[in-house]
Structure 1
Amino acid sequence: MIRSTVTKYALAIALTGFAFGAQAQSQSQLEKDLAALRSWMQNKASLADSTIRQEWPSVKREYRELTYSLDQNTRKMSEKSRSEYGQMKSQYKEWEERNETRQAVSLNKDELEHWEKIMTGTTRIGSIKPANLREAFILALDVTREHRRSWNLRDWEYAEFVVGELNTRKAEVLDKLNNSDKIKIAALQVEFATLKKSKEAKDRYQEMREESR
């Protein structure tokens, strides 16, 4: 009887150890998958925006492949890894929305680069250093304030896309921004959205007036 009890106890310990080992191995693989995704996103973020736009279908496919296992096993991740993964998914979502919007409105590559240059001072928005991001937002809003009354709908599509690129860059480097820059950039983001809504409201009012004639 004692021998049987000892055997059962030993078996239970062995099974517990096996389960723990399997869980540790699973977490180890998830950490590797997370590291691969992190490296991939950093690599893509370092490319010129025009390059990303040209490669967008491949970028989407690669992202799905890299995140498939992570999505299936999110609950097995450590709390820290789960939080980081959530942040990367949010960054990619903004990135995807930006590029899907460009495809939907068929923005011209050369024209878009012109808008990027005048609104941010660079065509490599994805590579703007955290220390310079605040000034890029300030420039974008200065241009918007100065020209918004003369912009047509097409102009606003380009301006909105460029600010969307800045928003994505902000999400990518958020943890590297100081509190002062975070507050200032957030205020500028709200201002741009307000100016755009004001423009949209004015356009709708004008359309209603023309229809009533």
Structure 2
Amino acid sequence: MKKIIKNAFALLLLVLAFGAQAQSQSKLEQDLQDLRTWMSRKASQGDSITRAEWPTIKQEFRARTQSLEQGTGKMTEQSKQEYSELKTRYRQWETDNEERYGQPLNRETASDWERKLAGTRNIDKLKSSQIRETYTRFMENVRGLRHDWSLRDWDYAEHVYLLLNDRKQQVLDQMSNSDKMKVAALQVEFNTLRKSRDAKDLYNSMREQR
């Protein structure tokens, strides 16, 4: 009788251990799937990621992989391989972006770009009646100059664009509806041109890898 009880107890411990292992694997599989989805979503953003977002993205990756790093030994071989591939892809992506986002904009150069694209170094002092005209000038310059821009040049153009956006928000209540609509159209155009550059760079990168 004692032997039966002992065997039953051992079996119960085995079942509990198996259940805990299965639950642990299930959690790791979910974490892996979440990481896969997160990386796919970030990769699809291309160069639309802003400098301010970059530190947060790196922190998110560390947080999302913490449990996976601790539970690697409990993963299936297939999951281990996928996780290794995801980490390799991320490291390459981070290396590529760190060179760009890790370097702060030069203050003097940024000021020159403000003058070149917006016609002023005092964007933060623009009146509501000047916003539409300044956005229009900005986009005219972007259209004319963008063909020769590097990714770094686009960083400075985006810097000017964000300054304009900030000032527009500050005086939005004082702007006419027609000015608001015109500025919104120009904002869409800027983002479209930026994304077209992203697509071009991606295409060229794929060609170089063939």
TM-score when scaled to structure 1?
A: 0.50
Aligned residue in 1 for 2:108: 110
Greater than 4 Å deviation, 4+ residue runs: none
Distance 1:104 1:146 in 2: 28
Structure showing greater radius of gyration is: 2
Aligned residue in 2 for 1:99: none
Amino acid of the residue matched to residue 113 of structure 1?
S
SS of residue in 2 equivalent to 1:171? helix
Distance 1:142 1:203 in 2: 23
Aligned residue in 2 for 1:137: 135
Pairwise CA distance, 1:209: 0.5
Cα shift readout 1:132-175 (whole Å, capped 9, x = no counterpart):
11111001100110111110000000001100100011111100
Once the two structures are superposed, the pairs formed by residues 173-212 of structure 1 within 5 Å of their partners are 173-212=171-210
Distance 2:121 2:207 in 1: 39
Distance 1:120 1:128 in 2: 11
Amino acid of the residue matched to residue 151 of structure 2?
L
Pairwise CA distance, 1:131: 0.5
Pairwise CA distance, 1:121: 1.0
Amino acid of the residue matched to residue 143 of structure 2?
R
Q: Any unmatched runs of 5+ in structure 1? A: 1-102
Cα shift readout 1:38-94 (whole Å, capped 9, x = no counterpart):
xxxxxxxxxxxxxxxxxxxxxxxxxxxxxxxxxxxxxxxxxxxxxxxxxxxxxxxxx
Distance 1:118 1:131 in 2: 20
Pairwise CA distance, 1:104: 5.0
Distance 2:112 2:157 in 1: 11
Once the two structures are superposed, the pairs formed by residues 71-150 of structure 1 within 5 Å of their partners are 104-150=102-148
Q: Given the alignment of the two structures, is residue 156 of structure 1 paired with residue 145 of structure 2, yes or no?
A: no
Amino acid of the residue matched to residue 135 of structure 1?
E
SS of residue in 2 equivalent to 1:143? helix
Cα shift readout 1:81-113 (whole Å, capped 9, x = no counterpart):
xxxxxxxxxxxxxxxxxxxxxx85410011000
Q: Share of identical aligned residues, percent?
A: 46
Amino acid of the residue matched to residue 121 of structure 2?
T
Distance 1:104 1:137 in 2: 28
TM-score when scaled to structure 2?
A: 0.51
Q: How many residues align?
A: 111
